[in-house]
Amino acid sequence: MVLVLAVLAAFATPNNSYSNDATKDEIALGKQLFFDPILSSDSSLSCASCHKPNFAFADTVPISFGVGQRIGIRNAPSIMNLDPNAPMFYDGRARNLQDQVHFPIQDSNEMRLSTKVLLDRLSRHKLYAPWFQALYHQAPSIDLLSKAVAAYEQTLQSAQTPFDAYMAGDNSALNASAKRGRKLFLGNKAKCFDCHFGPDFTGNEFKNIGLYDAQKWTDKGLYNQTHIEQDLGKFKVPGLRNVAVTGPYMHNGQFKTLEEVVAYYANPYAFVKTPVNMDSSLLKPSRLTQQEQKDLLAFLNALTDKAFMPILLQKH
């Protein structure tokens, strides 16, 4: 509990490097809603149930359980550093941070709550009804709820890592292994930077890394939205900030550890024999040595915000 409070305190206000026009009252409302199980049909789950503050607002299981122990279809990723990294979700079905809010609430495998019941609850609630009126001069609505929750989620920006300190001029912030890993990350052998670039280590693109073969791995990803054959098995490239504490990994949570992820990229064919539509940059495995994999992991660990360092230290 102490760690949860420390994490929440660390991300209590908007990061000034991102625009957030919300007021403190709107952010407070969004935060209250984010942690309130009133948004689920049986009032058993909140947004924070699957996006745990201690783990950079990601989950710790491959696929999260919803109301009534129904299981979802994909891993619940970190919701930190999402603004302005649109579109949202692995399949890009939400246009922006505000648009994504209603999906898990209404999803039959997740919070399973209809719009009608939700608005009835909020309109009758002794805290929320007057809060919406005072803030928006309107009764609760899906649009206003989404606006408030998104305002809170915008504050979850993370930029206090050893890597950030190194980039700011502190040469000692990265050890020798992490520095070698950084060169690998940026270089042509590991090719991580081809997909993970920008301040949050994602270009917000959709890639097929080989985890679709129409037999073992059947999630079609972006294709479900576009129905374009070339999009079969493509998923949004996630950001890498705090990646060391957000496992399990991949859209289906199939890899428990970051070590497994790095090993996969070193040779995807050791994991999947007949990938369909795999991105051309992965067709030739990088064949990273064991030492190179360790160095790359050291660099990825250095992307951990100081608020989550206790979790990282526990894992090691």
287: left (phi over 0), alpha (psi -120 to 50) or beta: left
The whole-number pLDDT of residue 114 equals 97
Tens-digit pLDDT profile for residues 9-24: 566 544 444 446 789 9
Task: Name the residue among 316, 177, 192 with its Cα closest to residue 244.
Answer: 316
Instruction: Dump pLDDT digits (tens) for 72-107.
Output: 999 999 999 998 888 999 999 999 999 999 999 999
Instruction: Look at residue 11 in the predicted model and tell me its pLDDT.
Output: 62
Residue 286, pLDDT score: 81
In the prediction, which pLDDT does 270 show? Answer: 87
For 152-185, what is each residue's pLDDT tens digit? 999 999 999 999 999 999 999 999 999 999 999 9
pLDDT category of residue 7 using cuts at 50, 70 and 90? low
Contact 106, 114 (CB under 8 A): yes
pLDDT in tens, 39-60: 999 999 999 999 999 999 999 9
Please answer whether residues 59 and 46 qualify as being in contact, where contact means their C-beta atoms are separated by less than 8 angstroms: no
> Measured between alpha carbons, how far is residue 314 from residues 227, 255, 309 in Å?
43, 19, 9
CATH for 2-154, among 1.10.1510.10, 1.10.760.10, 2.60.40.1930, 3.40.1390.10? 1.10.760.10
Q: What's the pLDDT score for residue 23?
A: 94
pTM reported for the whole predicted model: 0.92
Predicted local distance difference test score (pLDDT) of residue 18: 43
Report which residue type is found at 207: K
| In the chain, domain spans | 2-154, 162-315
| 2-154 matches 162-315 in fold | yes
User: What is the tens place of the pLDDT at every residue in 268-293?
Assistant: 988 888 899 999 877 777 889 999 99
Are 253 and 63 within 8 A, CB to CB?
yes
Other beta carbons within 10 angstroms of residue 227's beta carbon come to 10
Of 313 and 228, more confident: 228
Question: Which contacts of 251-256 are long-range, i.e. CB under 8 A and separated by 24 or more positions?
Answer: 251/74, 251/75, 251/90, 251/211, 251/219, 251/221, 252/62, 252/63, 252/74, 252/75, 252/211, 252/217, 252/219, 253/61, 253/62, 253/63, 253/74, 253/75, 254/62, 254/211
**What integer best gives the mean pLDDT of the chain?**
92
Q: Smallest Cα–Cα separation from 307: which of 81, 101, 82?
A: 81
CA–CA separation, 148 vs 24, rounded Å? Answer: 10
Q: Which pLDDT value is given to residue 83?
A: 83
How high is the pLDDT of residue 19? 47
Q: 309: Cβ–Cβ under 8 A, 6 or more apart, which residues?
A: none
71 strand-pairing partners:
65
Largest CA distance in the chain: 61
CA 59/CA 49 separation, integer angstroms: 8
DSSP character for 105?
A: H
Quote the CA–CA distance of 303 and 8 in Å, as a whole number.
Answer: 19
Taking the C-alpha atoms of residue 82 and residue 36, their distance in angstroms, rounded to an integer, is: 21
pLDDT at 28 over 80: yes
Query: Within 10 A of 132 (CB to CB), how many other CB atoms are there?
Result: 21
- What are the residues whose beta carbons fall under 8 Å from the beta carbon of 183, sequence distance 6 or more? none
Whole-number pLDDT of residue 216: 87
What average pLDDT does the segment 217-235 reach? 96
pLDDT at 5 over 60: no
Q: Which of 263, 254, 255 is nearest to 296 (CA)?
A: 263
The percentage of residues in the chain with a pLDDT greater than 70, rounded to a whole number, is 93
Which pLDDT belongs to residue 32? 98
What confidence category does residue 8 fall into, taking pLDDT thresholds of 50, 70 and 90?
Answer: low
| 245-262 average pLDDT score | 97
DSSP of 260-307: HHHHHHH-GGGT-SS-SS--GGGSS-----HHHHHHHHHHHHTT--GG
Please check the confidence at residue 66 and state whether its pLDDT lies above 90: yes
What per-residue confidence (pLDDT) applies to 16?
40
> Would you state the pLDDT for residue 220?
97
CATH, domain range 162-315: 1.10.760.10
